[in-house]
Each structure stands twice: as C-alpha cells, then as structure tokens.
Amino acid sequence: MRTGIATVCLSGTLKEKMQACAIAGFDGIEIFEQDLVTSPLSPENVRTMAADLGLGLDLYQPFRDFDGVTPDLLKANLRRAEAKFKLMSRLGMDTILVCTNVATATIDDDGLRASQLSELAELAGDHGVKVAYEALAWGKYVNDYEHAYRLVEMVDHPNLGTCLDSFHILSRDWDTAPIEKIDAEKIFFVQVADAPKLSMDVLSWSRHYRVFPGEGQFELAKFMGHVVRAGYTGPVSLEVFNDVFRQSDVDRTAVDAMRSLIWLEEQSANWLAAGPEGAASSGAASRRRYPMELATLPKVSEPAGFNFAEVKADDTVQLEKLLGQLGFAFEGRHRTKDVQLWTMGQARVIINEQAASHAEPAIAALGFDVASPVIASARAQQLKAPVVARRVQADEEVFQGIAAPDSTEIFLCQGSPDGTAAWTHEFGEGLERTGQAQNAVIDHVNLAQPWQHFDEAVLFYTSALALEPQPFAEVPSPSGLVRSQVMQTSDAAVRLVLNLAPAQQAAVQGTQTVRKTYQEHIAFAVDDLVATARAAQDRGLEFLQIPANYYEDLDARFDLEPGFLATLKELNLLYDRDADGEFLHFYTATVGSVFFEMVERRGNYDGYGAPNAPVRHAVQYDSLHRT
C-alpha cells in the first residue's frame, strides 16, 4: 500500500512538515495549497527537496468551487485552473483535487456540470494533469461519492477521475459497498480520516475533529476493503484536519499518523480475509490477491492480565506505608537493583528507586501478560513504538519494553496460567515470606494523558495491545471536565482508563513550583471490601474523606439498608449499583501524583463507579488546595 499524508495534518512550515513525513516513512504527500503559498521555497525548491527526501508529491489540493456555475464564472475558473496546472508542472506534480462546488454553484444540472468538467479535463490534459473530483459531504448540489462518479462517467475523459475521501462518505453514512463498482482506472486518489461520532454540522465536524485511523469510530477497514476490491492501487493518504495535531510536535504527529496507516493496512487485510462481506467468504477465495498488496503485522492477542504496576519514587516511605496499610506484603528487594516488590494475591506493585532522584511518587510502568512477549514486541516496534531498554544481569528475566505516548513504560511479560510471575524470585532472597491472607488482582489502572497525546494514546493501545476503546465519558471536576476513555480487553481482565485532564490541572499553582497535580491511580479488586477497609483502618490508613452529603444522596437514590449505609459512611466507602450488579470502593490519600483504590465487584458490575468520580475529584481538589 502506498502511504501518503496531506501537509495540512501537521504543524510547522512546509519544509518541517516534509522532513517529518520523510522521517516517519511516508511514500508521498499531498501539498495543501496554503502551505505552498506561505512558503519561502520556490516550487522548484519544493520539487528538489521532495526528491531528496524520497517523497512523492502525490496530490495538489484543494481546487474549490469550479462547476455548476454561470458562463462568466466558468471562464474565470478555467483561467484559475490553468494557473494551477502550470504551477503543478513546476512542482513536477500531476494530480489535482477538485472538490464539488459549495459556494458559487447556482445551476443544479448534471448535464451542465458534466460539460464544464469536460472543459476542465480537456485543459488539464493539455498540461498533463489529472483531475480527481471529490464529493464534499456539504457540497451544494453534489455531496455523494456515487453522484460525483456518475459525473466522471458522463464526461468519460482520461484526465478526469474521482477522489474517495472516507470522511465525506462515512460522515454521511453512505453505503461503501458500491465503491467496488467504480472502475479502478477512474479512482485517481483515496484519502482516509477517522472521526469520533459527534452530532454537529458536518463542516465543523470535518474541519476540527478528524483524527487518524483507529482514533475515531468510523468503519475504515471496511471502507478500505471495498477500495482494495475495486482494484485501486494508488496512494492511501491521510487528510486529517484536527485542532490538536496542528499545534503539536510535527515529528511526533507524523509518526502517530504513520502508525495509523500501518494499522489500517493490517485491519483492511483482516477485513478482506474474514468475510462474509470481505472477499468471497472462505477458503482460497479469502486469500485472493488484489492488485494492491497489503502488508500484515506480527499477530496480536489481547493481554491476559496485568503482570505488575510500577511506581517510581525517590523517597519511598509514604508508598511503603500506604501499601502496608492496605494489606500488601513486602516481598523484599531485588537482588541487584534498587527495587522493591509488594504483593497482595496476584496484584504486584514494584517500587522503583532507580534513576528517581527528586522524583515525586508516580506511576512509571505497567506489565502486561501476553502470549508471546517477542511477537508482541515485534508488532509494537513495527508500529513505531519506541523501545525501552532496561539493564539486566545475565540470570534475570529480560522484559520486552516499549514506551507509551505519555512515556509510561509498557512491559510485555510472559503470562502463566496460574497468574504467577517467575521474575518475583529475583526478589527477597533470604526473606521469610509470610503467606497471603487476602486475594487480590489489579482491577484497573487510571493514567492521565497530556492533551496533545490523547488520541495518539488511544491508537497506541488499540494497535499495539489490542485493547478496545469503549465509548468515552466526561466527568465533572472542580477544575474542568475530565474526558475519560476506557480501553479494555473483551473479557475485561485488563482495564486501562485514559483521562484527559483539564489543562489547568497540570499547570503551575500560583507562585509554587511546578508539580504534577493531576493524579493517577492503581485499583485493586478484592473479595470483601468491607473487611479490607476495616483491616486497613486498624493499620491506620488515611482514607480519602467522603462528604456526608454524598451518603444522603446515596440513600435517596438506592434506599440502602440503614446498617449497610452506616458502614459505608463510617469507612468512607463509595457505592454504585446497576442492572448488572454492585460496586464498592474506596480511595487512599495521594502521595506524589499517585493514589490507590480498592474495589469489590459484585455480580457482573462492569463499570468504575462513574457517578462517584466527581466526588473523588472534588475531595482531591479540596485537599490539594488546602494549605
């Protein structure tokens, strides 16, 4: 698959954009007119630079408001077009995007449109240019790709074809199956963009909220499957207008973009192989070859569970105290490293003091149990995840590690059927183990994402670890709305919550020194939360204090048995109930930027106590701002 990206997706100057695209590994780019007009580079310079960088200049765009106009306007439009065709020849480019008319069309007549497009095609032919005609979702008279293609067929000129843009097609819910009926020779270009399903006008949705494939909710593998089955072999190019990407680091966004195409290519191959709509269903037919070659990746399977969570800290006293009060057992120090292991049942927490000078306690790494760490690591690296190297001694387990977009280190560990981990034997030599009173597992981990890396993080966990994004929620907090995106495995053995914190929460507090004020947590599931809380209370645990108003509201909503309500209140426990079951949980105070949560899931309760999250945010805000 030939990969491409429109320069409009990225921040920076044309030169910076081109360099970033080459480094990320794109085959070609679309030159967005604005980027050229504002560039000090001459068209000849751009042409040379692209050649030196190994980038094809695959599409010049956009050319707007051409067809369905009065004769006077047509004349002006043809003159405008000819100037662009001449410019393209200096750039060494041969394909231009012409979108359906939005602003100046006054005549709704396919016959007239066809004759005007025919004149354009004829002129383009004189300059060796191909016109890719694209239906905008908000085009005045032509807003549907099948309509645009009918016009291309009517004109029947070798220099006029169509451009298929997934956003314009999927935002309108047009059926994608008829793409297969389009003559492949007439598909001059394909653009892909994903988007969250939003209910707003389609122009604003398109201009601000497009995201890279895998970061939104469109069925792009299916769209691409139809394109491949049509016989198309040209560029598959990202055209993503996004307010965040246009102001974040250009090199990093280009890599995120490339990852999305590598992933989409694999997903499209899978869609084609799977049937029933993909290929002629099964057997030999599903392995049918298409003119476009689709690369695949090392196989991925969902992680079976969390292997460990790691907190890094310079001063570990507070963390040790908290874990001990919660009922974790100290399993000793690593035999060669400044690292401690604490466990409760299958829940393992590492406290890492290495390279942590002056570091406030913070979540630094997560281990996941996977079927094959080597395969999972190969996949992640092909998806351009940075490798994390950790120093190990000869007889120690080597972890395959990659860095997530928020720089949390992700370790791919060999899972074992009984949930144990071989590497724990590297800890606590000579230490007498006390045996576990309590069973527990890591239930979920909640990570704060910097605003500029949120979408990237969703794609990272989707593509590298096969976690499935759930519909996102917004949680009110005193400093703004917190966007919360759950990523989980189909059996919910791994639940990762990505929170997009309000910008303010990461900012400087008055004249104080900068500190990470957004808090992250690790939650552990136990069988009996009330008993766990009582034992923790006896050990002197400082619970997050829940306001009395909360319990009044709880009683009003759920009509709880008075004794049970009193217990909840006494122990600062939170409660939720839905059709599937019940949820009990409590939070510890925060150390550094990390706190812990203990939960008990009753029945098939699958949530996270969402109605309680605003209470937690408010109380934490209060304690942070108390002097």
Q: Which residue, 7 or 191, has its beta carbon nearer to Mg ion?
A: 191
Q: Which residue, 91 or 475, has its beta carbon nearer to Mg ion?
A: 475
Q: Closest distance between Mg ion and the C-beta of residue 175, in Å?
A: 19
- HEC string of 316-338? CHHHHHHHHHHCCEEEEEECCCC
Q: Which residue, 9 or 74, has its beta carbon nearer to Mg ion?
A: 9
Q: Which residue, 168 or 453, has its beta carbon nearer to Mg ion?
A: 168
Burial class (CB in 10 A: 0-12, 13-18, 19+), 565: middle
Q: Which residue, 114 or 598, has its beta carbon nearer to Mg ion?
A: 598
- Residue 426 in the binding site for Mg ion (CB under 5 A): no
Please give the Cα distance from 45 to 110 (Å, whole number).
Answer: 41
Nearest of 402, 176, 138, 130 to residue 271 by alpha carbon:
176
Report the sign of the C-alpha dihedral through residues 12, 15, 19, 24, in that order: positive
DSSP-assigned states of every residue in 55-86: -EEEEEEEE-S-SS--HHHHHHHHHHHHHHHH
Q: Which residue, 121 or 599, has its beta carbon nearer to Mg ion?
A: 599
- List own/partner pairs for 370-373 with CB under 8 A and 24 or more apart: 370/301, 370/303, 370/304, 370/412, 370/413, 370/414, 370/415, 371/301, 371/304, 371/415, 372/414, 373/399, 373/400, 373/412, 373/413, 373/414
Q: Closest distance between Mg ion and the C-beta of residue 206, in Å?
A: 9
Residues 2-41 within binding reach of Mg ion (CB under 5 A): none
- Residue 447 in the binding site for Mg ion (CB under 5 A): no
Segment near Mg ion (CB under 5 A); pick from 24-32, 107-115, 239-247, 406-414: 239-247
Segment near Mg ion (CB under 5 A); pick from 212-220, 236-244, 369-377, 535-543: 236-244
Q: Closest distance between Mg ion and the C-beta of residue 188, in Å?
A: 12
Choosing from 190, 523, 529, 541, the residue that interacts with Mg ion (CB under 5 A) is 523
The verdict on whether omega for the bond into residue 62 sits within 30 degrees of 0, i.e. cis, is yes
Q: Closest distance between Mg ion and the C-beta of residue 220, in Å?
A: 14
Q: Which residue, 366 or 523, has its beta carbon nearer to Mg ion?
A: 523
**φ/ψ bin of 523: left (φ > 0), alpha (ψ from -120 to 50), beta (otherwise):** beta
* Residues 196-235, mask of contacts with Mg ion (x by CB under 5 A): ----------------------------------------
Kindly state the tokens that stand for 345.
């049942």
Residues 266-295 within binding reach of Mg ion (CB under 5 A): none
Nearest of 86, 76, 170 to residue 116 by alpha carbon:
76
Is residue 497 a contact partner of residue 444, using CB atoms and an 8 Å limit? yes
Kindly state the tokens that stand for 464.
């590298």
Binding residues for Mg ion, total number by CB under 5 A? 5
Q: Which residue has the tokens 């990390």?
A: 594
Taking CB positions, which residue lies at the least distance from Mg ion?
165
Segment near Mg ion (CB under 5 A); pick from 87-95, 104-112, 359-367, 592-600: 592-600
- Residue 600 in the binding site for Mg ion (CB under 5 A): no
- Residue 165 in the binding site for Mg ion (CB under 5 A): yes
Kindly state the tokens that stand for 334.
């690593």
Q: Closest distance between Mg ion and the C-beta of residue 189, in Å?
A: 9
- Residue 192 in the binding site for Mg ion (CB under 5 A): no
- Residue 239 in the binding site for Mg ion (CB under 5 A): yes
How many C-beta atoms lie closer than 10 Å to residue 550's C-beta?
Answer: 20
Segment near Mg ion (CB under 5 A); pick from 150-158, 404-412, 522-530, 573-581: 522-530
- The CA-atom distances, in angstroms, between 344 and each of 51, 423, 467, 509 are 59, 16, 25, 36
Segment near Mg ion (CB under 5 A); pick from 348-356, 377-385, 515-523, 572-580: 515-523
Q: Which residue, 344 or 523, has its beta carbon nearer to Mg ion?
A: 523
Segment near Mg ion (CB under 5 A); pick from 14-22, 187-195, 450-458, 471-479: 187-195
**φ/ψ bin of 477: left (φ > 0), alpha (ψ from -120 to 50), beta (otherwise):** beta
- Residue 191 in the binding site for Mg ion (CB under 5 A): yes
User: In the chain, helix, strand, coil percent, each to 5?
Assistant: 35, 25, 35
Residues that bind Mg ion (CB under 5 A): 165, 191, 239, 523, 597
